Amino acid sequence: MKAIILSGGKGTRLRPLTYSGAKQLVPVANKPILFYCIENIVQAGITDVGIIISPETGQEIRETVGDGSRWGIQIKYIIQDVPGGLAHAIKTARDFLSDSSFVMYLGDNLIGTRIDRFVSEFNSTTPEALILLKEVENPKQFGVADVTKEGTVLKLIEKPDDPPSNLALVGIYIFSPKIHDAIGKIKPSKRGELEITDAIQKLIDMGCNVESFILDMWWLDTGKKDDMLTANVIVLDEWLKESIDAQVDDKSNILGRVSIGRGSVVKDSKIRGPVVIGENAVIENAFIGPYTSIGNNSKIIKSSVEHSVIMDGSELIDIERLEESLIGRNVRIFRNHKMHKALRLMIGDDSVVEV
């Protein structure tokens, strides 16, 4: 079995961060989302992986992920020239996939379980497709499935006005080579894309067996700022391991599960976990509250921060309180004491500032 990970797209819902980087590389608990996807695939015993990239962000993904050797796998990069839909991505990867069954994993999705059991189920029951579903409160915003009590999929509808259920399609699928025949028989949707829901529905219309599994654990599509912060909370809560490889002075107080990377310095500060701090960071006269991730080479000085993601190389200096924030790379936020009280900002497109 092979796997493809979809890592293209423009990430418009995470702008301005995604103007300068791929959304799949935004960190959750100081690790790119894409790495969690790769690790889950590796745990399922799959070593032949294709990553679908776009011309705009593909080079950054190549440089960050590499050839796969760090995970003991082989990675092939496949360029999708236009964002033509999920089924179009499979079509783009046709030569790589050949006649193999495969996992398709959306590179900005996180789930709270390993996928190896789903791969085993697929191999033992041999359906033409196995899809994952999750009960949601707003099914009109998703692809929705109508299934039998036994899990056989009867019908799929993309963003229906009148949903037949509250079961949304999760961004992880397992297909047999039959999916290529189905994709060849569908037409672009109203938005001009080859929809994966249409391709799976075509499998059903062809008399193929499409099975489902309803997740009873968390699933997150990390496409928005609040989704990212929620993912950061859950990952820190469930997966963070305590590890302090830093200089911490006697005036500092560390409570709960905290991970601090090599070369970092903590002075006269209080850190209350779960918190992860990267390498070569400086935390001085600061309070770092729960559910905070601070990247490598960052500085938090005379500031208080909680429930936030601060990416590599950024600085907070003399900020009374920062919470529920997503701060990009190499950002500097500081208080100016030399001028009258006023905000002085340089803000990029699609930013949100709440003061």
CA-CA distance, 296 to 81, in Å (whole number)? 33
Q: What is the pLDDT of residue 15?
A: 47
CA-CA distance, 29 to 293, in Å (whole number)? 5
DSSP secondary structure letter of residue 141: G
Domains and CATH numbers, the chain: 2-235 (3.90.550.10), 242-334 (2.160.10.10)
CA-wise closest residue to 150 among 168, 127, 120, 173: 127
328-350 pLDDT, tens digit per residue, is 888 888 887 766 666 565 555 55
Q: For residue 191, what are its two tokens?
A: 């938005």
Mapping DSSP to helix (H, G, I), strand (E, B) and coil, where does residue 255 land? strand
Q: Are 167 and 145 in contact (CB under 8 A)?
A: yes
99-142 pLDDT, tens digit per residue, is 999 999 999 999 999 999 999 999 999 999 999 999 999 899 88
Q: For residue 109, what are its two tokens?
A: 């999705």
Q: Are 260 and 244 in contact (CB under 8 A)?
A: yes
Task: Please report where in the chains the tokens 């006649």 appear, as a residue.
Answer: 99
DSSP secondary structure letter of residue 140: G
Residue 234, pLDDT > 60, answer yes
| Average pLDDT, rounded, for the chain | 90
List the beta bridge partners of residue 77. Answer: 51
Amino acid at position 8, single letter? G
Q: What is the pLDDT of residue 339?
A: 60
